[in-house]
Structure 1
Amino acid sequence: MRNFAEEMLLKIDAEIESIGFNNDITINDALHMVKYIIPLYDQLRKLTVEHIFSSTEEEIYFFKELKPSILGRYLYFNKVYRIESQCPSGSNDVIKEYLNDELGGLTYFFRRNLELYQYYRSKATTYDTYYFIRGKADIRLCCDSFQCDRDPMFSTGYDHKIAKILANEMLQIYLNKRIINLGQSEAINKQAITQIPYPANWTSNKIFLIELGYALYVAGDINNGNITVKEIMDLLGTMFNIDLGDYYRGYITLKNRKKDRTLYLKTLIEKLLKRMEEDDEK
């Protein structure tokens, strides 16, 4: 079982590496990893239920180290997907507040589970038979609500909580980097706008600029497609001195048009063709 679980962990990490990201994760990356891990985890569950551990030490190692490492990666990517899918549209300040609230939740979790966190990180073993042997959990030690929902053949009183600790440690790194990247993006945008020799204000309908922004995003011609919709909208908003606000709602408005979903893009094409024809006549 140990070899099987370790090989599964290596397989998951190899998939993470093959995607080519470390802490810079898109919502699609996170969803891909969730879908990748689920069938592997189900396979691990079936084998664990059927497996007879050869010793107490083997069972403790599995539920203290191996299963939490695999489950922790699932919980991490699942949480990243939820955070990104629920991230509000708007200014960097709005997004920073949202991400800081998520960080606050992690801080509360670590404070609430400080004793277990210190026990695990100090590599203590005193309570391992209570924490990581199935059917041995002492209700006086384990007061987690998850205890009521656990699968007694695939969980002890604490392996799920250890997995959450591992996931939340990764989430702390991810959220802090997201916040730092927002600050860097804002600084780059400000630098870009100062290089424009004169004020460039958007004087047409805001929805038209949103339409243009989404077109640039799906075309993938900026940074070889390695740029988010938000980064494009922030750049356009900074360049043209306009707050695009809830640009996703604007995108929904474009989608719901009964005709001429890309009205502005068509207008641009018509105006450019007309200008070319006029130049030809000269």
Structure 2
Amino acid sequence: MDSPLTPDQPPVLRDDPAALLAALGWQLECGVDECVADAPVDRFKVAAEAEAAQAVSPPVAPPAPLRAAPPADEAEEAIGEARRSAAAAKTLDALRAAVAAFDGCALKHGARNTVFADGDPAARVMFIGEAPGREEDREGKPFVGRSGQLLDRMLAAIGLDRRSGDPEKAAYIANILPWRPIDNRDPSTDEAVMLWAFLERHIELADPEIVVALGKAPAAVLLETPVAITRMRGRWLRPARVGGRPLLLTLHPAYLLRQPAEKAKSWRDLLSLRAVLDGASPPEG
């Protein structure tokens, strides 16, 4: 997708760096991947010149990745370290510090912040998402970008608010990964396995009445199996990984931004959550 940046833009946009940055961010969210140049480029000529240059000089090997996946023995050592650190944490503050100090996951070295949680840990409901995005990585809190704004509206529709100090009305939010994957890719199985001990301890210490998995990645981690979230959303389960607590599967807000027609399904899930909070028994399976 092309996006021309022309000199006939309003002066307020041209002269305001913050406005330009916001405009660029909006275009990236919309899928823009190239800016149109001031002059046309002959792509056939460029390709021919590249082929001619390659013919007279050996191709240059691509650079090695900055951080390759760790060998199996290193991964096992990191998993063991995560388990020991998580088990030693007796409070959520201690667990937050343990996660921030953990160096076994390569994601940490490309992240700005460790994103631990947001909301009231005394809340009756704990929402678990996938991983931080660009805005979350910048602010150090989960769900603060566009998907977070939608999540806040969804919660408000059933009387919940992450900023509330009343556990009856509050929400507690975390992710399966505390660091942003490069290019916002899905969390990998290796990363989820390595960091599972921290999430497991997080659930134990927060001790919510209900857990809600937002999207396929957290659902797969909590159920220990791949999940077709569009088919399984709306289900209530009691897996061992959440200590037998009621677990509701639903769609991730980011998916709803891409597929607005699916919001009606999430609304039914939210109404089901509200009913359980009001005393109804979670539906079976």
For the criterion TM > 0.5, the same-fold answer is: no
Instruction: Name whichever structure is richer in helix by fraction.
Output: 1
Compare the two structures and name the one with the higher strand fraction.
Answer: 2
TM-score bracket, normalised by the shorter chain, equals under 0.3
Q: Report which of the two structures shows the higher radius of gyration computed on alpha carbons.
A: 1
TM-score w.r.t. the length of structure 2 is: 0.26
